């Protein structure tokens, strides 16, 4: 395997989320150090040591998220538990921080069988599973209660069914890739008028491009591992991501303002290669699903807790926080036909499942 150094700073989400690892001493709090120790101490290239005896199944799990993001700590714990619970029959080697390629590369590898499991942002998988973008509809969810009611309920079932029809298999519950906020180097973004002609980086996702075009901005799709440089060189004026990604990607070094828009919530999904997952005996499938479900449930709590502490940490690093007028953004999207366009694309049943949780969207 070609060894590549994990790039600097999403996360994507972004996914859409690649960065080099921070040392434990640079993490924002003692609590965060406790949450992320497992990830922060992972070696850059080899994060797995072989079992005492040969496993029946040797699989790979990849992520595009930086080493100090909670998802990696929780997934590493999950692979350890899977190895132990299976008595060494299933060994899953863990490759975080884009060690095996970018998010788009990894999607191809999972489909071909080069990688058996992949943690991926919904915004990224939507390029091959369009319905996954429905959780990204702009200015939809108001809080986490709505989020989890949605993805753990009827809408989540519809999304996972589409994942399963697209050559992958959905292995676990959704994780939390955070509510996303808009950052800027030159001015705060408080209303749609502030986005007119604004060059903003977005993930490689039609939904994100559509959202910001509808608000008058000039969105540019850039992979997260190229984002820091794009901001530093002024290729784009700003970007949008969750606070965890902004902090772990060190984007506060090249941005000044963060407006708390909560404009999009993005999940993490665990994809599996269909043939590899089907090859596992039923008892091993149950172990995999149980431990990955546990990892995502624990990661949800980690992210929600970090979101309450990172604002203070980023303020100390020079970031100025602003509050958005969410009603003005939603009205602008409605006037531009954004909601109607995406309701027509997703279809009546998924849209009804979304509105059953968040209320009617005009």
- Domain 12-358 belongs in CATH node 3.40.50.720: no
pLDDT at 248: 85
Confidence of residue 46 (pLDDT cuts 50, 70, 90): very low
Ordered DSSP codes for 153-166: SHHHHHHHHHHHTT
Q: Does residue 112 surpass a pLDDT of 60?
A: yes
User: How buried is 318 (Cβ within 10 angstroms: 0-12 exposed, 13-18 middle, 19+ buried)?
Assistant: exposed
- Interval 244-292: pLDDT, tens: 889 988 999 999 999 999 999 999 999 999 999 999 999 999 999 999 9
pTM of the complete model: 0.82
Q: What is the mean pLDDT of residues 146-155?
A: 98
The per-residue pLDDT for 211 is 97
| Average pLDDT over all residues of the chain | 88
Look at residue 225 in the predicted model and tell me its pLDDT.
Answer: 81
Strand partners, 241: 181
CB 72 within 8 A of CB 193: no
User: Among 48-52, 207-211, 334-338, whose mean pLDDT is lowest?
Assistant: 48-52
Least confident of 48-52, 97-101, 105-109: 48-52
Task: Round to whole Å and give the CA distance between 302 and 71.
Answer: 9
Whole-angstrom Cα Rg for the chain: 19
């Amino acid at each position: 395997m070609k060894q590549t150094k994990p790039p600097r700073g999403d996360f994507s989400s972004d996914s859409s989320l690649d960065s080099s690892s921070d040392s434990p001493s640079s993490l924002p709090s003692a609590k965060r150090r406790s949450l992320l120790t497992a990830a922060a101490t992972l070696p850059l290239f080899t994060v797995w040591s072989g079992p005492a005896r040969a496993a029946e199944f040797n699989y790979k799990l990849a992520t595009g998220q930086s080493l100090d993001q909670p998802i990696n700590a929780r997934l590493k714990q999950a692979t350890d538990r899977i190895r132990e619970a299976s008595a060494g029959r299933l060994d899953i080697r863990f490759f975080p921080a884009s060690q095996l390629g970018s998010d788009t590369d990894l999607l191809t590898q999972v489909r071909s069988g080069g990688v058996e499991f992949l943690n991926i942002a919904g915004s990224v998988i939507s390029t091959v599973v369009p319905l996954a973008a429905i959780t990204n509809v702009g200015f939809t969810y108001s809080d986490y209660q709505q989020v989890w009611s949605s993805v753990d309920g009827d809408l989540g079932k519809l999304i996972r069914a589409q994942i399963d029809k697209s050559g992958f298999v959905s292995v676990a519950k959704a994780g939390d890739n955070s509510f996303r906020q808009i950052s800027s180097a030159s001015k705060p973004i408080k209303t749609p008028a502030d986005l007119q002609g604004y060059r903003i980086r977005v993930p490689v996702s039609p939904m994100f491009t559509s959202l910001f075009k509808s608000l008058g901005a000039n969105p540019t799709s850039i992979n997260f591992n190229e984002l820091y440089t794009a901001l530093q060189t002024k290729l784009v004026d700003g970007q949008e991501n969750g606070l965890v990604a902004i902090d772990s990607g060190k984007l506060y070094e090249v941005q000044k303002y963060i407006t708390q828009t909560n404009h999009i919530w993005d999940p993490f999904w665990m994809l599996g290669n269909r043939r590899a997952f089907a090859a596992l005996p039923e008892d091993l499938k149950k172990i995999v699903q149980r431990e990955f479900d546990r990892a995502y449930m624990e990661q949800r709590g980690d992210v929600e807790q970090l979101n309450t502490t990172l604002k203070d940490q980023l303020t100390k690093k020079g970031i100025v926080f602003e509050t958005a007028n969410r009603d003005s953004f939603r009205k602008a999207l409605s006037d531009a036909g954004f909601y109607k366009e995406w309701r027509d694309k997703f279809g009546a049943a998924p849209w009804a499942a979304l509105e059953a949780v968040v209320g009617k969207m005009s």
